[in-house]
Structure 1
Amino acid sequence: MSSDAPVPLSKNPVALPRTAVPLGITDPVEQARTELKAALAAIEEKANVPRRVEQALDENIERARAFNRRNPALTAVAVIAGAVAVGAAVWGFVRLYTR
């Protein structure tokens, strides 16, 4: 059976980020609580440096893997060049230290 009654919209049809305040809150106390919760979530995201570093590393690792899939030979050259640079830096440091 179908009815002509309108389909009720959910209160929150679109997923909001933790740092957003939904529209339509009429109670001032509830509005203040929601704003405080969003502000604390924003501070937590901004101040959580280990999580931000982890996300940046994950993104860079994914980019490196994608680069490796596209250009495996160039990736090998880059790894060898990096190893040579690190080896030369260590050798230079040890040479300066022992003189």
Structure 2
Amino acid sequence: MSSEVQLPRTAVPLGITDPVERARIELKATLAAIEDKANVPRRMSRASERAKLHARAFTKENPVAAGALVLAGAAAVGTLVWSIIRAYTR
């Protein structure tokens, strides 16, 4: 059984003595970090998945509070639409 720890793509492992190999690995890690920061759709996807997991956990722990939040959100959207339509028709 191997006890090696898997490094993230953006990490540079310790103990590399060859300067050319170290520069290549640092460049690869830097490019991976830039890709992770610049890839907005992937970041949004990860954030929405985390939000869904938190919402599901909250709903399981507090179903009444979750229902009240949904009702309050629907009322807020309804009030916003009503006020926009009323302002437009005047």
TM-score by length of 2: 0.93
What is the CA deviation profile of residues 9-49 of structure 1, one whole-angstrom value per residue up to 9, with x for unaligned ones?
Answer: x7x92110000001111111111100000000000001111
Percent identity between the two aligned chains: 62
2:20 corresponds, among 29, 33, 36, to 29
- Show the counterpart of 1:13: 4
Question: Which one has the bigger helix percentage?
Answer: 2
Measured against aligned partners, the alpha-carbon deviations of 1:47-99 in whole angstroms (never above 9, x if no partner) come to 11111111111111111100100111111111011001000000100110111
Matching residue of 1:98: 89
Detail structure 1 runs of 4+ shifted over 2 Å in the superposition.
none
AA paired with 2:32?
A: A
Query: Which letter does structure 2 place at the counterpart of 1:96?
Result: A
**Which residue identity lines up with residue 48 of structure 1 in the other structure?**
N
Please identify the structure whose Cα radius of gyration is greater: 1
Among 28, 35, 40, the alignment partner of 1:49 is: 40
Of residues 55, 68, 89, the one that matches 2:80 is 89
For residue 79 of structure 1, give the secondary structure of its aligned residue in structure 2: helix
Q: AA paired with 2:69?
A: A
- 2:79 counterpart letter in structure 1: A
| CA root-mean-square deviation | 1.4
